[in-house]
A = this chain, B = another copy of it.
Amino acid sequence: MARLALSDDDKRVREWLIQQTKAVGCKVTVDQMGNIFAVRPGKHRTAAPIMMGSHLDTQPTGGRYDGILGVIAALEVLRTLHENDYHTEGDVGLVNWTNEEGSRFPIMTVASGVWAGAIPLDRAWNCTEVHSSDESKEKTMKEELERIGFLGDVPATHEAQPIAAHFELHIEQGPILEDEGRKVGVVVGAQAYQWFEVEIRGKSSHAGTTPLNARKDALLAAAKMIVASNQIAKDVGGVITTGIIQAEPSSINTVANTVRFTLDIRHPSDGVVSDMVERCREAFNLIAKQHRLLGGKAHLKRIAENAAVDFHGDCISAVEQSAAEICDQLRPHQTGAKLWRPMTSGAGHDSCQVSRKCPTAMIFAPTRDGMSHTPDEYCSPEDCAITTQVLLGAVLRYDAMRASRGDFA
């Protein structure tokens, strides 16, 4: 699936989604960020709706599950309620968040971020697309929202469009559930992460005429830093990744004078991430000194920082009970082996933004080989059904819970 946010294909699937939700009795609202809220009325209309949300946009060479599963599963839940003429206590609906991927407009979870008050509307509206072959024709989000007819009137805020609780079904995008033979991940939060650009400067010299001990080799030093950062991640049970590296002057027989590389540092605990950053800084500076790099240090520039997210106990509990019930109905291959487990999301999701403003939890579905952001991305029909069933159960439990505690009084 290649469906970049606010493209013609995105317009088409949005129109289809509105049609489908209206067909099961939903009332649809589109906000200033093109977020689509489809709400099916409950017995009581005095409280905000429980929403099931995710996104329909994909990476340029994406799969058919990342985000899409969460919206389609939500639609299936609404259809199931409708077909069974089931009346929830309060309103229940689905939300399609705009441009979660940040692929076309390079701010991830931008529209749920605006809704949650974390990203200013103007910054989002003025965000310019990447991937255009002609720079002079690059469009802003606002221009494209307008063009495809999804620039709504309703403010993209949690005040204008409140949500009582948010549940998101998503593929795991990792190998853990599959490796452990489980069917459902009960997501209790998301890892903290910090991103850095590291720059180190040595000195160019001739690869043939400069003895090893006379070099200030920035690329050799960078290699040692990448190896050291991996050891630090191992030591504390986190993950550190270098995905980008550039060396200058990039000549086969010239020692590199400047190397820039990235660090993606993650752990469920904010404190451990900070600790990992400090350990990297120390290790890098030691390597920089050993290689006599300029300034005797590595320059770390933080380009992103996300605190750990703890989802809401009430939502987690609803998912957990639902998962336990559904899994009990399946026959585990190994006696006594639980088919679900609590886990922490390694990636960021719309739910991380939404959780700033309302109780939230997520459900993870197994992902073949942990592959995501590729056409090979896959979740079996059986696993899609099981986790959608868990979503339905979680929503109904939360709906019952808030009725019993008097939310509609």
Residues on the B chain within 8 Å of A208, using CB: 191, 193, 239, 264, 266, 345-348
Interface flags for A159-180 (1: CB within 8 Å of B; 0: not) read: 0000000000000111110010
Chain B CB within 10 Å — which of A193, A208, A210, A345 has the most? A208
Among A25-33, A138-146, A217-225, A293-301, which stretch is in contact with chain B? A217-225
Chain B CB within 10 Å — which of A173, A230, A245, A249 has the most? A245
| B247 contacts A207, C-beta separation under 8 Å | no
| A233 contacts B212, C-beta separation under 8 Å | yes
| A241 contacts B174, C-beta separation under 8 Å | no
Measured between alpha carbons, how far is A97 from B253 in the docked complex, in Å? 21
CB distance from A125 to the nearest CB of B (A): 25
Measured between alpha carbons, how far is A264 from B252 in the docked complex, in Å? 7
Measured between alpha carbons, how far is A207 from B240 in the docked complex, in Å? 8
Measured between alpha carbons, how far is A210 from B195 in the docked complex, in Å? 16
Measured between alpha carbons, how far is A396 from B319 in the docked complex, in Å? 94
| B264 contacts A172, C-beta separation under 8 Å | no
| A212 contacts B191, C-beta separation under 8 Å | no
Measured between alpha carbons, how far is A207 from B345 in the docked complex, in Å? 12
The oligomer's copy count stands at 2
Measured between alpha carbons, how far is A211 from B237 in the docked complex, in Å? 9
Among A11-19, A39-47, A128-136, A368-376, which stretch is in contact with chain B? A368-376
CB distance from A301 to the nearest CB of B (A): 12
CB distance from A129 to the nearest CB of B (A): 17
Measured between alpha carbons, how far is A307 from B245 in the docked complex, in Å? 33
Residues on the B chain within 8 Å of A242, using CB: 219-220, 223, 256
| A226 contacts B230, C-beta separation under 8 Å | no
| Nearest chain B residue, comparing its CB with the CB of A372 | B206
Residues on the B chain within 8 Å of A175, using CB: 210-211, 214
Residues on the B chain within 8 Å of A88, using CB: none
Residues on the B chain within 8 Å of A204, using CB: 373-374
Q: Is A243 an interface residue (CB 8 A)?
A: yes
Across the interface, A219 reaches (CB within 8 A) one of B210, B226, B249, B370, namely: B226
Residues on the B chain within 8 Å of A206, using CB: 173-174, 346-347, 370, 372-373
Q: Is A126 an interface residue (CB 8 A)?
A: no
Residues on the B chain within 8 Å of A174, using CB: 205-206, 209-211, 214
CB distance from A275 to the nearest CB of B (A): 17
| B370 contacts A264, C-beta separation under 8 Å | no
21 contacts between A and B (CB under 8 A): A172-B209, A174-B209, A174-B210, A174-B214, A204-B374, A206-B370, A206-B372, A207-B239, A207-B243, A208-B345, A212-B239, A219-B226, A220-B227, A222-B223, A223-B226, A224-B227, A242-B256, A243-B247, A243-B249, A243-B250, A245-B247
4 tightest A-B contacts by CB?
A174-B209, A208-B346, A209-B346, A207-B241
